[in-house]
Amino acid sequence: MKLNRIALAVVLAAPLAASAQTGLFSVTPLLGYHSPDKGDAGAYVGLAAGLRIVPAVAIEAEYGKASDAELLNANMLVSPESWATSTLSPYVLAGFGQQDLDYVNTAKKTVSTTDTVMNLGGGVVYGISDVLSLRAELRGIHNSDKSMTDYLVLTGLQYGFGVQQEQVTEYVAPEEPVNVVPADTDGDGVVDANDRCPNTPAGWEVSVDGCPLDSDRDRVPNSIDECPNTPSGMQVGANGCPLDEDKDGVTDAKDKCPGTAVNVIVDDKGCAKVVKTEIKEAIKEEVNIVFDTNKAIIKPEFKGEVAKISDLAKANGNAFITIEGHTDASGNPAKNKVLSQERATAVMNMLISDYGIPAARVAAVGFGSSKPVADNNTADGKAKNRRVIAVLTAEKTTTVSTVMMKPAKAVKGKKAVKKGKKGAAKKAAN
């Protein structure tokens, strides 16, 4: 079906002429690419004039020209608000128009045709300012008479104007009688004329004179007093609770030991609780007495070692002394054991006879060469192995006073570790 150009122009101009009564105008210069089903592809230049009927719908008249085609269209653009963002407004397009097309047919003849076409496409508008926007569009142009479909890729700069402002008549309510209410600046329920404390914080309990209530008379108002029944005369903090500077749970007024360390367990007077513990520990003292080869005679230079054993035994009345005799690996093992016993016995006898140590507190044991302390292949090693060791064994009781501590709190993500006390160091053997 052919559509006369003049009739189409009249159809398009009618809604535009009424635009002053209905909404927003727009003018959009267009530039794009025209790809016809028949004919040569090329640039497209056009101009569109539109009218927004409602926020989501606009109608538009468009004239454009390509290298071998001329178009006059009337389109409707639909852009639902749910599709839009703050800057982008997608839309779909549908309409009809007239297309004049010149192309070369298969017989190499130039054919000129004027046909009615249908338009279908979509695009997006990007807002630059309140009146200026960029527009991009892809459109299909279908010629049902010739069974052809052309395509347009368009971009344009859209300018909007002619927004009609609605006239709003402001409603003015009738004046009502004004009731004069006595002023209460701080809103405590006591009018300013009777308020002795005119700047009371909002929400505080007040007396009839407008001043904050303080039931326990600790100078902290009830409204912020966390301890509202503090005994008379008790020193309190800003929260109304008795002061406890060292945070031990005993108020300063009753604390006889102020400044107690954190985590220390205290008694009802605020003083640290102490636990006394008796610790029993073993005392061992070793001395070495070296003998000549095949000898069991104590050399003069080692009598001081025997005296050392005697002094320790006398200082610890419950101590028991074990004398251990040893030899090097030279000679017969059986004879060595006898020799080691003789060496141990020699020391034991000296303790008894020379130093007055009771025989019941001393024992002598010979080990022969079974417990070497050095290499028996060297002269120096053999000399070290020809020895007597005196072992003094006693039990000592010590009283230890320990301050009681609160359990350590667990660190987040780790287990709390309670450090144990090290035991008393044992005396090193000589």
**Exposed/middle/buried for residue 193 (C-beta within 10 Å: 0-12, 13-18, 19+):** exposed
In this model, does residue 377 exceed pLDDT 80? Answer: yes
Q: How many CB atoms lie within 10 A of CB 394?
A: 18
What is the rounded distance in angstroms from the CA atom of residue 48 to the CA atom of residue 130? 19
Q: Which residues of 270-284 are buried (b: 16+ CB within 10 A; e: fewer)?
A: bbeeeeeeeeeeebe
The three state secondary structure string of the chain is CCCCHHHHHHHHHHHHHCHHHHCEEEEEEEEEEEECCCCCCEEEEEEEEEEEEECCEEEEEEEEEECCEEEEEEEEEECCHHHCCCCEEEEEEEEEEEEEEEEECCCCCEEEEEEEEEEEEEEEEEECCCCEEEEEEEEEEEECCCCEEEEEEEEEEEEEECCCCCCCCCCCCCCCCCCCCCCCCCCCCCCHHHCCCCCCCCCCCECCCCCECCCCCCCCCHHHCCCCCCCCCCCECCCCCECCCCCCCCCCCCCCCCCCCCCECECCCCCECEEEEEEEEEEEEEEEEECCCCCCCCCHHHHHHHHHHHHHHHHCCCCEEEEEECCCCCCCHHHHHHHHHHHHHHHHHHHHHHHCCCHHHEEEEECCCCCCCCCCCCHHHHHHHCEEEEEEEEEEEEEEEEECECCCCCCCCCCCCCCCCCCCCCCCCC
Looking at the chain, the whole-number percentage of residues with pLDDT higher than 70 is 85
Domain(s) labelled CATH 2.40.160.20 in the chain stretch across 5-161
- Supply the pLDDT for residue 1: 43
- Return the structure tokens found at 400: 């230890």
Q: Average model confidence (pLDDT) for the chain?
A: 79
Q: What is the pTM of this model?
A: 0.37
Question: What is the rounded distance in angstroms from the CA atom of residue 12 to the CA atom of residue 61?
Answer: 6
Q: Which of the residue ranges 63-77, 155-169, 173-187, 316-330 would you say has the lowest mean pLDDT?
A: 155-169
pLDDT in tens, 6-47: 444 444 444 443 333 334 888 999 999 998 887 778 899 999
Is the model's pLDDT at 170 over the cut of 70? no
Chain segment 314-348, per-residue pLDDT in tens: 888 777 888 888 888 888 998 989 988 998 898 89
Joined together, the tokens standing for residue 59 give: 């109608």
To the question of domain 5-161 being in CATH 2.40.128.110, the answer is: no
Whole-number pLDDT of residue 401:
73
- Residues of the chain within CATH 3.30.1330.60 domain(s) are 280-398
Superfamily grouping for domain 280-398: OmpA-like domain (3.30.1330.60)
